[in-house]
C-alpha cells in the first residue's frame, strides 16, 4: 500500500517535473490526471456553451418584449416617445460606464505614485508546464481585474516579463493597455536602487508580516507548482540578500492544508489589507473555506467570502473581471 502510494507520487512527480515536455509516454497516474483535466475542460466548454445559449435566449426575450411594447402604443407619437426614452436611457448608461472606466484609470494612475507596490516575479516559466503557465496567466489576469476594482489599488509590477510568459500574457485581450509596470528585467535589476525595500513574500520565511509598509515593495513568486518547487522563492531571496516575510496566516486561521496560497490569493489579501487594515477579515474574504478548515465555518457567517472553483485557475470568475 505504502509502495503503491510512493509509486503514484513518483509518477506524479515525473509528470509534473517535466515542464513543456510532450514526448515522454505517460504513466498510469499521469493518464488519469490528463483524463481528469480533459473532462474538466469538456465540462467547462459545455458550461460556456450553455451560458452563450442562455444569453442568446435572454436577448431574444428582451427584443420580443420591446417589440410588443412598441406595437401596443396607441399612437405614432407615443411610439416615438418610447423610442426616444430608450435611446436616452442607453446613452446615460453608456456615459455612466465611461465615467466609471475613467475613474478606474485615474485611480490606477494615481497608484503608480501613491499605491502599495506589489511585484509578481515571472522568472519561473522554465519550471512550469504549459498548463501551469496558462494557470498563472489566468491568475495574473484576475489580479489585475481585482486591483482595477479596488478603491485604493496597488501598483502592480510584472518583472521578468519575457519569453513564453510574455507571449502568453500578450495574448490576453487588452493586455497592451493594462496600467501595470511591465518589466523584462528581473526585479533585482529593475529595482536595484530600492533593494533595501524589497520584501519577498514566501510561506517559508521565519519573519511574519504584521503590517504593510508603503515604502516596501512586496514580491510574490509567479509560480503555479502545487508546491513541487518547495522553498524555491525563499532560496532565491536569501541568495540575493533580499528580505523575506510570510503572511500572518497562522495567527488567525487553522488551515486544513498548507499555508501556501496562489498568486492571486496573495495579491487579493494584500489589496484587502490595504483597504481594511485587518488581516483576519482579509484572510476570511479571500482564502477558500475548504482551505481554511471546518472549524472556522461559524465565523464565516456574514462574510462575503468567494471561493475559486479551481484554485489555480480563476478563469471561472472572468465574468466579474470587467
Ligand atoms: C503557489 S506559491 C509558490 C510556492 C513556491 N513553491 C515557493 O517556493 O514560493 C505562489 C507565491 O505566493 C506567495 N505566497 C504563497 N503563500 C504565501 C504565504 N503564506 N506567505 C507569503 N507568501 C506566500 C509566494 O510569493 C509564492 O511564491
pLDDT in tens, 53-102: 999 999 999 999 999 999 999 999 999 999 999 999 999 999 999 999 99
Pairwise CA distance, residues 300 & 285, whole Å: 9
Residue 274, pLDDT score = 96
Q: End-to-end CA distance of the chain, in Å? A: 49
Backbone angles phi, psi at 5, to 5 degrees: -60, -45
Per-residue buried b or exposed e for 192-223, using 16+ beta carbons within 10 Å of the residue's own CB: eeeeebbbbbbbbbeeebeebeeebbbbbbbb
Top mutation candidate among 203, 227, 268 for ligand 1, by most atoms within 8 Å of CB: 203
Domain carrying residue 110:
64-114
* Same-domain status, 132 and 213: yes
Report pTM: 0.76
* Same-domain status, 102 and 172: no
Is 310 a residue whose pLDDT tops 70? no
* Same-domain status, 110 and 137: no
Q: Which residue has the higher pLDDT, 213 or 255?
A: 213
Is 4 a residue whose pLDDT tops 50? no
Per the structure, the count of domains in the chain is 2
Residue 313, pLDDT score = 45
* Same-domain status, 313 and 175: yes
How far away, in angstroms, is 203 Cα from ligand 1 center? 5
Is 155 a residue whose pLDDT tops 60? yes
- Hey, whose CA ends up nearest to atom 11 of ligand 1? 221
296 part of a folded domain: yes
234 part of a folded domain: yes
313 part of a folded domain: yes
Pairwise CA distance, residues 83 & 74, whole Å: 14
- Which single residue is written with the C-alpha cell 469538456? 42
Q: Which residue has the higher pLDDT, 320 or 156?
A: 156
* Same-domain status, 315 and 190: yes
Tell me, what CATH number does 182's domain have?
3.40.1280.30
Q: Which residue has the higher pLDDT, 115 or 15?
A: 115
Contact status, residue 142 vs residue 266, Cβ threshold 8 Å:
no
How far away, in angstroms, is 262 Cα from ligand 1 center? 7
pLDDT digits (tens, 9 = 90+) for 105-134: 999 999 999 999 999 999 999 999 999 999
* Same-domain status, 152 and 234: yes
Q: Residues with beta carbon inside 6 Å of ligand 1?
A: 201-203, 220-221, 223, 225, 227, 229-233, 246-247, 249, 259-263, 266
Which member of 11, 103, 204, 225 is catalytic? 225
Pairwise CA distance, residues 310 & 156, whole Å: 24
87 part of a folded domain: yes
How far away, in angstroms, is 95 Cα from ligand 1 center? 41
232 part of a folded domain: yes
Pairwise CA distance, residues 252 & 272, whole Å: 15
Residue 212, pLDDT score = 97
Contact status, residue 156 vs residue 88, Cβ threshold 8 Å:
no
Is 164 a residue whose pLDDT tops 50? yes
Is 290 a residue whose pLDDT tops 50? yes
> Is 225 a residue of the active site?
yes
Picking from 114, 142, 175, the residue at the C-terminal end of a domain is 114
Pairwise CA distance, residues 296 & 313, whole Å: 24
Quote the percentage of the chain above a pLDDT of 70: 84
For CA atoms 186, 190, 192, 196, the dihedral sign is: negative
Amino acid at each position: 500500500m505504502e509502495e503503491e502510494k510512493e509509486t503514484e507520487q513518483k509518477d506524479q512527480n515525473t509528470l509534473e517535473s517535466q515542464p513543456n515536455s510532450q514526448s515522454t509516454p505517460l504513466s498510469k497516474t499521469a493518464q488519469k490526471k490528463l483524463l481528469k483535466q480533459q473532462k474538466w475542460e469538456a465540462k467547462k466548454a459545455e458550461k460556456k456553451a450553455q451560458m452563450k445559449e442562455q444569453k442568446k435566449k435572454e436577448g431574444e426575450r428582451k427584443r420580443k418584449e420591446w417589440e410588443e411594447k412598441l406595437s401596443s402604443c396607441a399612437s405614432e407619437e407615443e411610439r416615438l416617445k418610447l423610442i426616444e426614452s430608450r435611446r436616452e436611457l442607453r446613452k446615460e448608461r453608456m456615459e455612466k460606464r465611461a465615467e466609471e472606466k475613467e475613474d478606474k484609470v485615474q485611480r490606477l494612475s494615481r497608484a503608480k505614485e501613491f499605491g502599495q507596490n506589489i511585484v509578481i516575479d515571472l522568472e519561473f516559466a522554465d519550471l512550469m508546464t504549459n498548463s501551469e503557465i496558462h494557470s498563472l496567466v489566468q491568475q495574473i489576469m484576475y489580479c489585475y481585474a481585482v486591483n482595477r476594482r479596488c478603491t485604493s489599488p496597488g501598483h502592480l509590477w510584472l518583472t521578468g516579463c519575457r519569453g513564453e510568459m510574455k507571449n502568453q500574457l500578450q495574448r490576453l485581450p487588452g493586455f497592451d493597455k493594462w496600467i501595470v509596470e511591465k518589466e523584462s528585467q528581473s526585479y533585482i535589476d529593475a529595482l536595484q536602487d530600492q533593494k533595501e525595500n524589497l520584501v519577498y513574500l514566501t510561506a517559508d520565511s521565519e519573519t511574519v508580516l504584521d503590517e504593510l509598509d508603503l515604502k516596501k515593495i512586496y514580491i510574490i513568486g509567479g509560480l503555479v507548482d502545487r508546491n513541487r518547487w518547495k522553498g524555491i522563492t525563499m532560496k532565491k531571496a536569501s541568495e540575493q540578500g533580499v528580505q523575506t516575510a510570510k503572511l500572518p496566516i497562522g495567527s488567525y486561521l487553522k488551515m486544513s492544508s498548507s499555508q501556501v496560497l496562489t498568486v492571486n490569493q496573495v495579491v487579493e489579501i494584500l489589496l484587502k489589507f490595504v483597504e481594511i487594515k485587518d488581516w483576519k477579515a482579509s484572510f476570511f474574504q479571500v482564502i477558500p473555506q475548504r482551505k481554511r478548515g471546518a472549524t472556522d465555518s461559524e465565523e464565516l457567517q456574514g462574510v462575503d467570502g468567494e471561493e475559486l472553483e479551481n484554485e489555480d485557475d480563476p478563469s471561472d470568475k472572468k465574468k466579474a473581471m470587467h
